[in-house]
Structure 1
Amino acid sequence: MEKLFAKLEEHYEEMVEIRRHLHQNPELSFEEVETPKFIAAYHEKLGHEVRTGVGGRGVVAKLKGGKPGKTVALRADFDALPIQEANDIPYKSKVDGVMHACGHDGHTATLLGLAKVLNSMQDELEGTIVFIHQHAEEMQPGGAISMIEDGCLEGVDVIFGTHLWATSPVGEIGYRSGPIMAAADRFQVTIQGKGGHGAQPHRTKDAVVIGAQAVTNLQQLVSRRVDPLESAVVSVGAFEAINAFNVIADTVKLTGTVRTFKEDVRELLEKEIERVVKGTCIASDADYTYNFYRGYPATENHLEETEFVAQVAQGVPGVTEVKEVAPEMGGEDFAYYLQHVKGTFFFTGAQNVDWDVTYPHHHPKFKIDERALLIAANTLGAAALAYLKQGSAQQSQTVKVK
C-alpha cells in the first residue's frame, strides 16, 4: 500500500494538470466528443484494453494484473453543466455557457492518475481492475444505464466510486451504508383555465391564481402525508405564465422535483401530487394534465462493502476523518451500478476551510481544493488493492481446505 501512496504522490501534479485541462474544455451531457477521446488515448498509451463508445459515449479500460483474482470496477463521470463560469482563474472554462461545476473534471483526473500508477504495479496486482469513465451523469436518463447494458460490469465483482464534495473539508471521507443519495424525479403540471381581460376577472378562470393555490397545497404533502420519520422533498422550481400585465392567464405550467429514499414514499408522492392538483382544479372548475417522470433511483450502498472502504480509509494518507454522514437529497446514477453488483459510493471532502466563501455544487463559482484529488485516488486505489488481496487470500484458503 505504501508503494501505491508514494507513486500517487509523485503523479499528483499530473492529476492537477489533467483536471485543469478538462476544466478548460468542458462538454455537456450526451455531447461529449473530445473528452472521451482524451480518456481513451490516455489508457491506450498505458497499454490497457480499451473500449470506446460504450453505451454511447462512455469509455471502459481494463488492467489485468499479473496474478489471477477478482475484478474491481472504479467509476468516474466526465460531463459538465450548462453554467457560465464566474471564477477568475487561469484555467477558467473556454466554452461559453458550459462549466465543470460539480467536480467531474476532478473525478476523471483522479481515475486517470490512479490508472497510471496501478499500471506500473501490474505484475503485483492479484486480479483485474476495470476503469469505467461514464458520460452524461448530469442529465437523465444518464449514461450508467446504457453503459451497463453495453457490458461495462461484465465479470465485475465489486464497484467503488467517490464524489468530490465541496462542502466537506479536505481530509474527510464520508460514508454511509444504505441510501446515501436520493431518488430524483420530475413532475410537470399544466393547468388550463380561461383567460380574459385583467379588468374582468369574474369572466375568467384565472390559471395563475389556481396554479398559486396548487403550489401552496403541494407544500402540505411532505408535512402531512409523509411519515415524519421518513425523508422527502417536493419542490416546484418553475412557474410559467407569460402574459401582458392586464391579461389573466389562460394556462400555467408548473415543473418541480421530488426527492425520496424509499420506494413506497416515492410511489405515495407520485399519486398525491396529482390528487392535490386535481382537487385544486375541481374547486376552480379548471382542467389539468399531469406527468411524473422517474429519474435516478436512490443510491443504496451495500453494508459489507461500505464498512470495508471505511476501514481502509482509516489508513490513507491525507485522510483526517472518516465519518458516517447523513444521506444527501441530490441524485446520482451510480445507483444503477449498485443494483447490479455490490459496492459503495462515498464522499471525498474538497473544501478549503481557509477560503472566505464555499460555493455549492452547480454554482457559477464552484471550486474545489485540488488536494482532494490525491486523497480520492489514494482511497479508491487502497480499496481496490485491499479488495483484490482479500479475494486472493480467500481463494487460497479455499484451495487449502479442498
Structure 2
Amino acid sequence: MLTDTALIQIRRHLHAHPEIGLKEVATHDFLLKQIAKLPQENLSIETISEVPTAILVRVAGFAATKTLAWRTDMDALPIMEKTGLAFASQNDHVMHACGHDFHMTIALGLLSYFAENQPKDNLLVFFQPAEENEFGGKRFFDANGFHDQFKPDEFYALHVNPLLPAGQIATRKGTLFAGSNELRVSFIGRSGHAAYPQKANDSIVAAANFVTSVQTVVSRNIDPIEGGVVTIGKFNSGQAMNIISGQADIEGTIRSFTQAGMEVMTKHIRMIAQGVAAAFDQELKLNFRQGGYMPVVNDKEATDFFIDYMEHAAQVDFQIVEPAMIAEDFGFLSNHFKGTMFWLGVNDPTHTLHSNQLNPDESAIMKGINAITGFLTARMQK
C-alpha cells in the first residue's frame, strides 16, 4: 500500500499541476502512471471517448456478490493561488481550491490498498472529470460508461471540509448537499435617449422588477423547513448614464435540498420572467441548466450502515452534521445508485472551500484512507 510519504508527494504533484474540467489531460496521464505501478492481477481499466479524461478502474473481488464504487473528482478552479506554498499551482489562474487533489490522492490510496489486498466484492474507483463546471458524472453515465462488469450496485464519495478537524468523518441521513440550477435571463427592449423615454423601452426597469420579484419565490412558495435559495449574482445592462438601456442580462443560481423544491422554484421563476416581459413589452430569453447538480441524498440503508460503522470504528472521529447548501454533481450519481457521501475534515477553519488561500491539513489523507478501507471491507461482508 502507498505510504503516507508517497501519498503526500502525489497530493503535492497534483496540487502543483491543476487543470480545468474536461481538460484534465496531464492529470489523467499522471493517474494512469500511478495506477500502472500497482499490482495488476485483479485490475482492469475502462475509458470512453465521450469523456476522454475519465478513468474507471475495476478491482475484481475473490467472492463477489455485488459491486461497490468509489468516486473522486479531478478538476480544479479558475483561481489564482495565493497560498505561498512551495508546491503551489504552476498553472496560471488555476488552483485546486476545492480539495480535489486530496480526493484523487485518497482514491489512489484506496486503490493501492485493494490492489494489494483483494476485496471480497468487486470495487470500482471512478476518477471523474469536470465536477465544478460540466457535470462529468452525468456525462459518463449518459455515455453508458457504467455498463456490464463496470456497473456499480452502490456508490460512495467524500468531500473535504476545512471547518472540521483533520480526519474527522461527518455525514447525515437524507439530504447532505443541495441541488443547483443555473439561471440566465435576458430582457430585450429598445434603447433610446434619456430625455425621450416614451420613444424607448427600458430593459433595466423590467429587469429590476424581475430581480425584486424573484425574492418572493422561496419565501412564499417553499416550506420554510425545507429551505431554498435564489441568488442573482450578475446584472449587466446599459452603456451610459444618459442612454436608456435596450437589454439587460441577468445570471443567478437556484438551490434546493429537494428536487421537488427545485422544480417549484424553477416553475415560479419562469412565470415571473414571462409576466415581467409581458408587462414591460420585452422580448424574453430564459435558460435554466441543472445538468448533474441534483441534491445529494444519502440512501437510508447504506447510510445507516455507514454511520453505525464509523461510530464504532476504532480511531475514527465521527459526527452527524446538518445539510449544506453547496452543490455537488455526485447528486446525479446518488440519484441513480444508492450510497453515501460524507465530509472529511481537513482543518483549515480560516479559509473556505474555493478560497485562493485554502491549505488543507495533509494528515487527513491517511486518516481518511484508513476509515474508508475499513468501511468498504465491512460493507463487503454485508
TM-score higher than 0.5: yes
Q: Decide which of 189, 192, 204 is 2:188's aligned counterpart.
A: 192
Deviations along 1:269-309, one digit per CA (max 9) or x if unpaired, are 11211222233334433332222222321111111111211
Could you tell me how far apart the structure 2 residues matched to 1:311 and 1:317 are?
Answer: 12
Given that residues 180 and 299 in structure 1 are in contact (C-alpha distance below 8 angstroms), is that contact kept between their aligned partners in structure 2? yes
Contact 1:300 1:335 in 2 (8 A): yes
CA distance in 1 between partners of 2:111 and 2:196 (Å): 69
Question: Per-residue deviation at 1:366?
Answer: 2.1
Distance 1:70 1:268, change over 3 A: closer
When the two structures are aligned, how many residues end up with a matched partner? 375
Post-superposition CA distance 1:363-398 (Å, at most 9, x none): 2222211122122212221111111123xxxxxxxx
Distance 1:187 1:278 in 2: 14
Q: Which runs of 5+ in 2 are unaligned?
A: none
- SS of match in other structure, 2:285: strand
Shift of 1:67: 4.3
**RMSD across aligned C-alpha pairs, in angstroms?**
2.1
Secondary structure at the aligned position of 1:329 is classed as: strand
In structure 1, C-alpha distance between the alignment counterparts of 2:4 and 2:379, rounded to whole Å: 24
Q: Which amino acid aligns with 1:116?
A: S
Shift in Å, 1:133: 0.8
Question: Do residues 303 (structure 1) and 295 (structure 2) align?
Answer: no
Aligned to 1:232: 228
Name the aligned partner's letter for residue 49 of structure 1: S
Matched, 1:135 2:141: no
SS in 2 for 1:57: strand
Could you say what secondary structure the match of 2:76 adopts? coil
Q: TM-score, normalised by structure 1?
A: 0.87
> Is the CA contact 1:19–1:105 (under 8 Å) kept in the aligned structure 2?
yes
Contact 1:72 1:158 in 2 (8 A): yes
Change in 2 beyond 3 A, CA 1:380/1:215: same
The answer to whether the Cα contact below 8 Å between 1:14 and 1:113 also exists between their aligned partners in 2 is no
Q: Is the 8 A contact 1:166 1:360 kept in 2?
A: yes
Q: CA 1:283 to 1:155, structure 2 compared with 1: closer, same or farther past 3 Å?
A: closer
**Aligned-pair distance for 1:327?**
1.5
Q: 2:256 matched to which residue of 1?
A: 260
* Identical pairs, percent: 32
Which residue does the alignment assign to 2:44?
49
1:269-348 superposed matches below 5 A: 269-295=265-291, 296-316=293-313, 319-320=316-317, 322-348=318-344
Corresponding residue number in structure 2 for 1:4: none
Distance 1:367 1:386, change over 3 A: same
Instruction: Using the TM superposition, give the Cα deviation of residue 26 of structure 1 relative to its aligned residue in structure 2, in angstroms.
Output: 0.6
- Which residue does 1:31 correspond to in 2? 23
Q: Which residue type is aligned with residue 218 of structure 1? A: V
Whole-Å Cα distance in 2 between the matches of residues 171 and 126 of structure 1? 26
Does the Cα contact within 8 Å between 1:160 and 1:380 map onto a contact in 2?
A: no
SS of corresponding position for 1:169: coil
TM-score where L is the length of structure 2: 0.91
